[in-house]
Chain A
Amino acid sequence: MKSSTLSRGKPRQQGWTPLQTLLQNPGAWNALMVAVFLLGGAWILFSRIPPAETTNGAPPPSPREGFSAPDFTLELLGDGGEVTLSDFRGQVVMVNLWASWCPPCRAEMPAIEQVYQDFKDAGLVVLAVNTTYQDTESAAAAFVQEFNLTFPVPLDRTGAVSNRYQLRGLPSTYFVDRQGVIRSVVVGGPMSETLIRSKVEDLLAEAP
């Protein structure tokens, strides 16, 4: 037998592995396919999730896509007052974690303000949570004034909210739908206005 151009060195012995022996016997190979079909089908049926277990309402809270946004109540910058995330159920909420010393946070704030102006009447809420435990209230206030921010700025004084949201980098933004479920997480920045609009538009289009 002429050695094929593709095999290296001397031609290999036929049936050099059990699998190849099996492949040379069409009957055995068909039996293998049937066995795989039956085993695989059985595994699929065994591992399905009974519909009764999937219709039990909202997903558990965790700072990740597909989970409920962990709830928080924080004091607001300025004239005081408090804000609670779950009060905005039924609206689209953008939770943005920032600090005044963080350059990409500075870079993206004008875009957030612009999108907020465009969509606040359509039901968009922005909560720009200042990570006050690693910032100062006066710096945060100056920042808000500098960029003429009109949305509420809750203060995370203890770091509890940042911790609950497993903050890994600033800025971090969580897009929360009308059911209170996180639909998109953007870590790092700056986000462009286009990015924010593309994330927000879909959620606003959903039925309340």
Chain B
Amino acid sequence: MSDITDTNSLVTTAENPVSGIDQSSGNFKYDMTYDFDAGTGLNERTVDYISSVKKEATWLHDFRQNALKTFFSKPLPTHWATKDLENINFDKIRYYLSQGLKPKRTWDEVPEDIKRTFERLGIPEQERKFLAGVEAQFDSEAAYSNIKEAVAKQGVIFVNSTEGLREHPEIFRKYFGKVIPTGDNKFSALNSAVFSGGSFIYVPPGVKVSHPLQAYFRINAENFGQFERTLIICDEGAELTYMEGCTAPKFSTATLHSAVVELVALKGAKIQYITVQNWSSNVFNLVTKRGLAHEEAEIKWIDCNIGSRLTMKYPGVVLKGRKARGEVISIALANDGQHQDTGAKMIHAADETTSTVVSKSISVGQGRATYRGVVHIPRHLKGCKNNTECDALLINTNSRTDTYPAITVRGDRHAVQHEASVSKVSAEQIFYMQQRGLTEGQAMSLSVNGFINDLARQFPMEYSVELKRLIDLEMEGSVG
């Protein structure tokens, strides 16, 4: 275990051609003379260091230091969450390493199965190298500069967290850390102390951004960092779709990913936030995501979790203004050794607010998929509605699924409904398809794709195509 945590941003030696696969027996070493390396472990000096490298204002430095204190003071939430969290060794993690110093590995060092996956998914050559960590950045300038220019003309600010807080404090400081306060949970405190990278976006009133903005549109960004921080503000009547992640396996050597994403939709604004997460199976993915929807605003999270060892992520919407709408669409696939602990939080805080949660999970092999949710309607509101649906599909006899919703309703003027079901792939369907010449594996893939089809359709086309291919891959070898 300790060796695995060590491998975050290390230079691998030639004796270890398959780093990333057999990480427990590697002969790793790193050079401590790097300029922008905060070293391993976490203390006040680490935070001072990050803050000074980023040339941050005093208030931000203090914010980080306070967050660090909060992080140390909070216990791990193991009274309700999995005990697996105790396996995170916070002292062995590297909390900051500047972009240019990210580890380089050659294409030959990338494990065969990862290469094969890229091939099967049809990932462009250039992107493959980036995804595999061969190149520190994916130079997408040429491909996407048109979009960048177009949105800039509309007055959209699209920068990274450091730049956002340094160059546009008048816009971002007001909302920074307000939707998700530092003390929200242990991992949001950790992120607040050591965050770097991520996107800060401001969309001016009435501007409708027609193209989805993607995290890797921007160059020189630390997007896939461990502790990225994202803040998106849509001013009155503005609309934005944002996408992060990708369906290809994110071949990471870092073992802890803990992001904080805050969304603010002012009156009448619409934000759609799409995530496709496919971390490698040694990663703890502990992310806090929450949106604040003002009057008649709409926030929609589309969240797809396929990779990682443990994902804990419950995108939420605080429905603060009258007639605000919140929606979470969640797809989780848990394969052997994985635990997808995902869900949604809907906090109704105004009249006539509505929220919808649709969650579909698939457990393969010994995978474990968990839905955990909160719906809260406080006193003296009227006309609030929530509808939650959770469906779980169990593929193998030893697959596991859990559902833990918590629904609080006060008052007699609301309608709240929760439903969940668990099922397996129908043997008749499989038999029918086999009879038509499909192999059992193909039939199984087709069934699973059918199970999530109505949700997958809500993804942008290229994502949903890749998602389908990915499910085919995951389902291979799950039967027979």
Instruction: Please indicate whether A and B come from the same complex rather than being unrelated chains.
Output: no
